[in-house]
Structures are given as C-alpha cells and as structure tokens.
Amino acid sequence: MNLKEAVAVVTGGASGIGETVATYFASNGARVVIGDVVQESIDRVVGEITAAGGRVVGLKTDVTKDADVAALMDAAVSTFGAINVVVPCAGIIRDGVMINTDRETGKVKRVMETDQFRAVVEVNLVGSFITLREAARRMVDNNWRGVLFTISSVNKVGQVGQINYSSTKAAVAIWPRILAGEFQMKGIKGIRVVSVAPGYVGTPMVRGMNQDALNEILKDVHIGRLIEPEEIARAIAMVVENEAFDGTCLEITGGVTYGARSIAK
Ligand SMILES: NC(=O)c1ccc[n+]([C@@H]2O[C@H](COP(=O)([O-])OP(=O)(O)OC[C@H]3O[C@@H](n4cnc5c(N)ncnc54)[C@H](O)[C@@H]3O)[C@@H](O)[C@H]2O)c1
C-alpha cells in the first residue's frame, strides 16, 4: 500500500511520535485524522499540516471512551471515505516502584496506588484496544485494506519503576500475533497487524528528562543518541508500504544494549 492511497488515523497525534507520524504521512500524500485529548495542540498540528499543503482533520478524542473513538473513526470515514492505517500513539507514563521503602528503617514508606497502575492500563492498553477494534469493524465491513499498528516500547522487556507502563507495552507487542491469527482464522486477508517498539525517542517528554539520567541511559544505546521521531515515522511508513511485515513486533531501538557495559568491566 502506498501512503498516497491511505487514510491514516493517529491517536495521540498532537504531540511527540504521533505528531511526527501525522506530519510525515501527510507530507507524503496520506490523508490524516488526528485524535488527542488536548484541543489546542490538535489545532496547532492541524494548522501546521494544512499550511504545508497536507490533508488533515483533528477531533478531540479520549481513547479510553468508546464513543469518542467511534466518533473519530466516523470522522475519518465521512471526511476521507475510508480507514486504512491506524497508529495508536496516545500513551502516558506514571512511573514508580510498587513498594518504596524508607532508606533508614527499610520499612514501606509508599506504594504504587491502584489508580496509578490503572491510569496507564486504561490509556495505553484499553485505549489501544478500543482504537483497533473501532477501526477494524469498519475496515472489515467495507473491505478496506490496511495496517493496524500497536505502539510498544523497548521497555516491554520489563523496566524497573514501570510495572504499569511495561505491562501495557509487553501486552500490545503480542497483539499482532493474536489479531493476525484471528483475521487469518476468519479469512480477513487485507488487514495486517504490526507492532513497533521504539527505544528512547527524542520527544518533548524524553528531552525534558533529568539530563544526567538521560546521559546514563544513552551510554546503553549503541548509536549513542536519542532516536528521532521521524525515524519511527519512516519505519511505520515502510511497514505500510511493504506487505511482508505482518503479525510481528518490529524493534527500533538504536541498539539498546542493557548490561553490555557491566559485562565489559
Ligand atoms: N518517547 C519515547 O521514547 C517512546 C519510546 C517507546 C514508546 N513510546 C510510546 O509512543 C507513544 C507516544 O509517546 P510520545 O513520547 O510521543 O508521548 P507524548 O506525551 O509526546 O504524546 C502522547 C500524546 O498522547 C495524548 N494522550 C494522552 N492520553 C490520551 C487519551 N486518553 N486519549 C487521547 N490522547 C491521549 C497526549 O495528549 C499526547 O499528545 C506512547 O504510547 C509511548 O508509550 C515512546
């Protein structure tokens, strides 16, 4: 599938990776639909893409709400006549350890509250489920071909301090196997399912981190720098244009080599 033929729905499209995917797709001829919770950021991104000659609409969408996501998909269909590519970039982090102890007494000082766990699951996991389901039901009924993505992370391997986030990213990484299998079982041939698992990407969130912590992280990255959001967008575009990618999770990490330094010592 060529980007020029595609209608792409991008959630979390008003910032970071989602914004770059939306902009890259639009600049390569795709028609783009952006959903996000921040209206003024949606307006900014839609304005910038439109000013550059791209075709785009944006709709305030909370991916945890079925009705919002259904309205986003309906907007794609009513504006551009189809849905072909779905990139659910809406995501949040609420980092912390499950049990935090007092340095002096060794006793439990704080725990990760259930709401802190649940909030991340709601957006990253339930939100991705609703997004893919609402897109897929319309694509199947109308015989629209395309690709459903999930956005995993290198932290799917289990990052300390991220029991909530890593759990969601491990889960969405296995969805391509499940959904490509279900589509195969049902004779649905035209819809591929692919996960992308980025490493550390230079989005505002990551660039705004404590610089010492960031420099420490980069020591474990073989290319020695943050990945540019456009490198993720180009990888997603490559998957759209190459039908051989299906039912799999593609890691784009810049060579994250946890442990290599300690072994070398
Ligand atoms: N930045 C990285 O290094 C990195 C690495 C691996 C994976 N990821 C994943 O990529 C995705 C995007 O990350 P990012 O760094 O661009 O973050 P970001 O914070 O820049 O963008 C996330 C967007 O999601 C939106 N959002 C949050 N909750 C929402 C909701 N309920 N409904 C709709 N939109 C909502 C936010 O408003 C924001 O615009 C996330 O799923 C993240 O886990 C990021």
Ligand 1 within 6 A of CB of 203:
yes
Question: Residue 66 CB: number of other CB atoms within 10 A?
Answer: 12
Domain ranges of the chain: 3-201+228-255
Rg (CA), the chain: 19
pLDDT digits (tens, 9 = 90+) for 9-51: 999 999 999 999 999 999 999 999 999 999 999 999 999 999 9
Residue 241 scores a pLDDT above 70: yes
pLDDT of residue 206: 86
Residue 261 scores a pLDDT above 70: no
Average model confidence (pLDDT) across the chain: 96
> Measured in angstroms, how far is the CA atom of residue 21 from the centroid of ligand 1?
12
- The token duo for 104 is 């002096």
pLDDT digits (tens, 9 = 90+) for 39-84: 999 999 999 999 999 999 999 999 999 999 999 999 999 999 999 9
Strand, coil or helix: what is 192? strand
Longest dimension (CA), the chain: 63
Model pTM above 0.95: yes
Judge: domain 3-201+228-255, CATH 3.80.30.20.
Answer: no
Q: Render the burial of 237-264: b for 16+ CB within 10 Å, e for the rest.
A: bebbeeeebbbbbbbbbbebeeeeeeee
Ligand 1 within 6 A of CB of 162:
no
For atom 16 of ligand 1, the residue with the nearest CA is 16
Instruction: Name residues whose C-beta falls within 8 Å of residue 222's C-beta, 6 or more positions apart in sequence.
Output: 254, 255, 256, 257
Residue 265 scores a pLDDT above 60: no
Pocket test for ligand 1, best of 68, 73, 169, 205 (most atoms within 8 A of CB): 205
> Measured in angstroms, how far is the CA atom of residue 92 from the centroid of ligand 1?
6
In this structure, what DSSP letter does residue 228 have?
Answer: P
The rounded distance, in Å, linking the Cα atoms of 166 and 163 is: 5
Pocket test for ligand 1, best of 24, 36, 168, 251 (most atoms within 8 A of CB): 36
- What is each CA distance from 20 to 14, 35, 108, 227, 228, in whole angstroms? 9, 14, 42, 13, 10
In terms of DSSP bridges, do strands 99-101 and 108-111 run parallel, antiparallel, or are they unpaired?
Answer: antiparallel
> Measured in angstroms, how far is the CA atom of residue 173 from the centroid of ligand 1?
16
CB contact at 8 A, 15 and 92: no
- The token duo for 91 is 């995501």
In this structure, what DSSP letter does residue 33 have?
Answer: E
Catalytic residues, by residue number, are 165
| CA atoms within 13 A of residue 143's CA, in its CB half-sphere | 0
The rounded distance, in Å, linking the Cα atoms of 107 and 210 is: 28
In this structure, what DSSP letter does residue 16 have?
Answer: H
Phi-psi region at 131: left, alpha or beta (left = phi > 0; alpha = psi -120 to 50): alpha
